[in-house]
């Protein structure tokens, strides 16, 4: 049996085993002569298998054959479409001339005012933070000076007055 595997001989019919047609070699034009005629002339059966194996895959494949407009129309006719989608469909209308200009200008003014106030508040926060940092630095410097004085005083007490 090991000999039949190594030699490529089909044990039942005693003829060479054909290569797999799913490989690149079976599809390449120069290597296609190794493929038996029965494989080359056989109709493709993958599509029928996909339709038969699963109902949902079959529905997907059928939907992919249609255009987007056909799919939408089919879903609207079958009643599967969403009511919100039907309501929110845009209908072309002429643009209003300048009746919304005052509303837009008022919005822009309010928007700019809000942005300016936010920036001023941010700058004020930064200024206060800098002041607090300066106060903390002064306090640290003062405590460092006090510690040096205290060490100098203790050193004098321990060693006595210097002459």
pLDDT digits (tens, 9 = 90+) for 49-77: 878 888 888 888 888 888 887 877 766 66
Domain limits, the chain: 1-42, 44-74, 116-163
CA-to-CA dists, residue 120 to 14, 77, 117, 131, angstroms: 92, 58, 5, 16
Report whether pLDDT(94) > 60.
yes
């Amino acid at each position: 049996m090991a000999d039949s595997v190594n030699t490529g001989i089909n044990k039942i019919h005693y003829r060479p085993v054909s290569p797999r047609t799913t490989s690149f070699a079976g599809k390449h034009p120069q290597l296609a002569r190794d493929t038996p005629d029965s494989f080359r002339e056989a109709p493709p059966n993958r599509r029928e298998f996909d339709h038969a194996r699963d109902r949902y895959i079959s529905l997907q494949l059928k939907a992919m054959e249609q255009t987007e407009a056909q799919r939408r129309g089919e879903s609207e006719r079958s009643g599967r479409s969403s009511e919100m989608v039907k309501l929110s469909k845009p209908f072309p209308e002429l643009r209003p001339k300048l009746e919304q200009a005052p509303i837009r200008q008022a919005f822009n003014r309010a928007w700019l005012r809000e942005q300016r106030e936010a920036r001023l508040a941010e700058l004020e926060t930064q200024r206060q933070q800098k002041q607090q940092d300066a106060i903390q630095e002064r306090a640290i410097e003062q405590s460092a000076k006090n510690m040096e004085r205290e060490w100098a005083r203790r050193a004098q007490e321990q060693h006595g007055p210097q002459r």
